[in-house]
Amino acid sequence: MTTNQLLQKLAKTAPILEASFGLEREGLRVKRDGQLTQSQHPRNLGSRNFHPYIQTDFSEQQLEFITPATTSSKEALRILGAITDVSQRSLEPDEQIWPLSMPPKLEEKDIQIAQLDDEFELNYRHYLAQKYGKKLQAISGIHYNFGLGADLLQQIFEQSQETDFSQFKNQLYLKLARNFLRYRWLFTYLYGAAPLAEAGFLTSDISQPVRSFRNSQLGYVNESDLHFPYTSLEAYITSIENYVQQERLIAEKECYAPVRFRGQKKNRDYLSQGVTYLEFRSFDLNPFEALGINQETLDSVHLLLLALLWLDDSEETVTEDLTQAQQINNQVALSHPLSPLPEQAQAQPLITALDQLIQHFQLDSYYQDLVQQIKRALQDPRETLAGKLLPHIDNQSLQAFGQKQAQVYHDYAWQAPYALKGYEGMELSTQMLLFDVIQKGLSFEILDEEDQFLKLWHKDHIEYVKNGNMTSKDDYVMPLAMANKTVTKKILAAAGFRVPQGAEFSQLGPALAYFSRIKDQAIVVKPKSTNFGLGISIFQEAASYEAYQKALELAFSEDSSVLVEEFIPGTEYRFFILDGKCEAVLLRLAANVQGDGQKTIRELVEQKNANPLRGSDHRSPLEKIQLGPIEQLMLQQQGYQAEDVLEKGVTVYLRGNSNISTGGDSVDVTEDMHPSYKELAAQMAQAMKVWACGVDLIIPDSSLAASKEEPHSTCIELNFNPSMYMHTYCAQGPGQALTPKILAKLFPELEE
């Protein structure tokens, strides 16, 4: 069976970049002073018995982050970023993740073997500790999992003239594994980033920095007399089985080869069921990146792997080639970071393959630039990771540098803690829900990112969630009913709840004619179906005809139908109802500024908008205050313009509605609200037969007890998308975490 010269035969339009990617990153938990933490695996990271993304590696202090298989390296890195973000923010306040492959200064007694429930896994770690020592287990790195795309594999197979696809695929992955081992020294040269071991780690210290202790014979490797032949897949599998039978290995997974075949539970199953992907284990953590690796490295490695497939594979000289390559790799790994490659390390064949690959498939300038970066690094070792790390070594130590970088990445994780790194483009409540999903150990898939549609599952239990709180727990028609304010009012009124009186219009003319009926009243003009408070105008005193007309035009710009309702005096509160119970109450203050006697209203708005909780497009807990037509109209009604200096202590409101989405302030009053109003709001949600929603009540005096017969309040609307984030990250008050309660209701088995 031949696997040579097949990529060269593919059409230029072949999907050469189609692949699957996965990442596994290890990292030690340390204190701010760089010492290993002595706490157990974080309790709020769910159960490591089933967690798909966050596991404990050898020790209690060593986290392992695992991404699912993705169809792009960008997505793999994004998921790794989210897992890292969740983990960083789930640690104790004084804990951080060590950014280097080589551990900080430690002693054997500092390393606590992971206390796993699985008896074999626990015994396996004790076995490793006795055989290799606990210190070596503290070395961390990144495993790069790579599989060729299905369409690409099929097209390569068709060029081969072979008839057994599974056997051909195995042979192709075997070729890639062999060529990787032939050129492993180049990956060590480019991406090695473990130049030293802290004092006391090794039995004998080396006097100068090197490229990568981790990728040398001094790293975490099998005993030197164990050999895993790559002459054939059968030979590779048989050698591991023999070592296990001879008790030289406790299990197949104790084979720590730089590249491993993956996709089946037992190695022998590869022969009948096929290899799915390869696991490349030679990547040190990049301490200059918060995730330990960056996009350019992922894509450069992808190109290099394709170039390895482009190159021919000599089956006759496999054993000799790989023996020599291992010696070269060890020499490169233990060389000074600025030393040139040894003479026998010939990179030109692989560089030529890269150039030919780029040219044949007409890859764009991004990939061409990646190849140029590799060429520059080959010319100048200062461009390699080890070369860049060299200036940060102080007195044969990277301890101070590691502590500094760990603090930087810790602080980065806590920037905008209401958001999920990599997913900031999604609606904020969905980001918060995804944070909890990852933290609890639920599997997830984003079905439609723009529509905020998620699939969540645990074992065989699947749930679909939209906008963070819309689930199968609600009937399809109820969110539609809540989006229609007229329908909502009619249902609530029929159930005996108080709602505002008013009229509905679908044309401007009849709405203007209605002015004679309400010209002496306080009114609210709003679109029939809207969200985020868009197009709403509130007149707490009788409006002029001109102001009324402008308010109608604004409302009609948001919807084809408009409601004109009586204005209900009092304070507006948002009640969040979940499964028949009020979980949070929010006082929302309309967009406002308070004068200091020096700044103009415009300057005061800019000052308030500088709050880090304020942002735009509902990606922050509070929205920036605008000075648009509605706000200008509100100022005029109060006798002000935006350029006026506001007297000290005077508050002006720039909106009549108190929506957070229009610049309002959020105040958590859950504990202060009279329980009778919480019960009343829950009854309204039940009348609408909704599982999760926001109930907006106007309450003149919240000290009075409410009931259905004497509500002392009016319901102005129910919201099917109640923006849970504003209950959690408030301008004032403790805030209420709601997304964990959503998940606890959807997946009660996780709470057992």
Query: 318 CB contacts (<8 Å, ≥6 apart)?
Result: 178, 229, 230, 231
| Segment 697-718 mean pLDDT | 94
* Domain harbouring 124, CATH code: 3.30.590.20
426 inside domain: no
Rounded-to-integer distance, Cα 621 and Cα 469, Å: 17
Predicted local confidence at residue 486, as pLDDT: 84
pLDDT of residue 1: 66
Are both 683 and 708 inside the same structural domain?
yes
The model's pLDDT over 454-487, given as tens digits with 9 standing for 90+, comes to: 999 999 999 999 999 899 998 889 888 888 888 9
Find how far residue 507's CA is from the centre of its chain: 46
What pLDDT does 533 receive?
Answer: 66
Cβ burial of 734 (10 Å; 0-12, 13-18, 19+) is exposed
pLDDT band at 575 (very low <50, low <70, confident <90, very high): very high
Confidence band for 742, pLDDT divided at 50, 70 and 90: very high
Please determine, for residue 319, whether its predicted confidence score (pLDDT) is greater than 90: yes
pLDDT the model gives residue 228: 94
Predicted confidence at residue 461, as pLDDT, reads 97
605's CB contacts (< 8 A; 6+ apart) are 593, 625, 627, 642, 654
For 583, the 3-state DSSP assignment is strand
| Virtual torsion, Cα 319, 323, 328, 334, nearest 10 deg | 150
Give the number of residues written for the chain: 752
| Burial grade of 710 (CB within 10 A; 0-12, 13-18, 19 or more) | exposed
The Cβ of residue 87 has, within 10 Å, a number of other Cβ atoms equal to 22
If asked whether residues 20 and 123 sit together in one domain, one would say yes
Q: Give the end of a domain, one of 378, 413, 448.
A: 413
Position 419 in a domain: no
Q: Does the pLDDT of residue 657 top 80, yes or no? A: no
- Tell me: do 456 and 578 sit in the same domain: yes
Please report the pLDDT score of residue 530 as a whole number. 66
**Alpha helical stretches, state H, 183-294:** 184-191, 233-245, 269-273
pTM (2 d.p.): 0.90
CA angle (640, 638, 666) in 5-degree steps: 100
The pLDDT of residue 612 is above 80: yes
Mean pLDDT lowest among 312-316, 452-456, 605-609: 312-316
| H-helix or E-strand spanning residue 504 | strand 502-505
So what's the pLDDT on residue 531?
A: 64
- Tell me what pLDDT residue 722 has: 86
Q: What is the CATH number of the domain that holds 528?
A: 3.30.1490.20
Q: Are residues 744 and 684 in the same domain?
A: yes
Token readout for 484 is 């229609």
- Is the pLDDT at 346 greater than 80? The verdict is yes
User: For residue 620, is it within any domain?
Assistant: no
**Model confidence over 234-285: pLDDT tens digits?**
999 999 999 999 999 999 999 999 999 999 999 999 999 999 999 999 999 9
* Rounded mean pLDDT, 559-575: 90
When the pLDDT of each residue in the chain is averaged and rounded to a whole number, the result is 94
Would you say 214 and 284 are in contact if contact means Cβ atoms under 8 Å apart?
Answer: yes
- pLDDT tens-digit map of 206-230: 789 999 999 999 998 999 999 999 9
Q: Is 458 in the same domain as 514?
A: no
Tokens of 244: 């296990």
Distance between CA atoms of residues 231 and 613, nearest Å: 60
420: pLDDT strictly greater than 90: yes
100-107: average pLDDT: 96
Give the residue from 534, 566, 598 where a domain finishes.
Answer: 566
What is the mean pLDDT of the segment spanning 532-545? 84
Q: Are 312 and 328 in the same domain?
A: yes
Same domain, 455 and 558: no
Q: For residue 624, is it within any domain?
A: no
Q: Can you name the residues that pair with 638 across neighbouring β-strands?
A: none
517, 386: one domain: no
Q: Are residues 456 and 508 in the same domain?
A: no
Tell me if 236 is assigned to some domain. Answer: yes
Which residue, among 752, 115, 740, has the nearest Cα to 440 in the 3D structure? Answer: 740
Inside any domain, residue 73:
yes
8 Å CB contact between 299 and 73: yes
Would you state the pLDDT for residue 104?
A: 97
Summarize the confidence of residues 38-60 as an average pLDDT: 94
Q: What would the mean pLDDT of 119-144 be, rounded to a whole number?
A: 95
For residues 741-748, average pLDDT = 96
pLDDT at 148 > cutoff 80:
yes
Tokens of 645: 């200096």
Average pLDDT for 7-26 = 97
Same domain, 278 and 369: yes
Q: Domain check: are 551 and 678 in the same one?
A: no
The answer to whether position 471 is within a domain reads yes
* Region of poorest pLDDT, from 191-195, 380-384, 400-404, 424-428: 424-428
* Range in 60-64, 428-432, 534-538, 664-668 with the lowest mean pLDDT: 534-538
Residue scoring higher pLDDT (400 or 205): 400
SS3 readout for 366-400:
HHHHHHHHHHHHHHCHHHCHHHHHHHHCCCCCCHH
Number of domains the chain is built from: 3
Q: Which two tokens stand for residue 371?
A: 């190849």
722 to 275, 295, 663, 726, 739: CA distances (angstroms): 47, 36, 16, 9, 12
User: By C-alpha distance, which of 244, 186, 236 is closest to 215?
Assistant: 186
Look at residue 122 and tell me whether its pLDDT is greater than 80.
yes
What is the reported pLDDT for 617? 79
pLDDT at 133: 92
Query: SS3 string of 317-360?
Result: CHHHHHHHHHHHHHHHHCCCCCCCCCCCCCCHHHHHHHHHHHHH
Q: Residue 536 has what pLDDT?
A: 87
Backbone angles phi, psi at 205, to 5 degrees: -75, 145
CATH number at residue 717: 3.30.470.20
pLDDT at 475: 87
- Which of the residue ranges 350-354, 411-415, 454-458, 716-720 would you say has the lowest mean pLDDT? 716-720
Q: State mean pLDDT over 377-403.
A: 97
Residue 658 pLDDT > 80: no
pLDDT band at 752 (very low <50, low <70, confident <90, very high): low
Average pLDDT of the residues in 638-659: 90
95 is in which domain, residue-wise?
7-201+212-413
Among residues 413, 444, 478, the one where a domain terminates is 413
Is residue 282 located within the same domain as residue 314?
yes
pLDDT band at 551 (very low <50, low <70, confident <90, very high): very high
The answer to whether residue 253 is domain-embedded is: yes
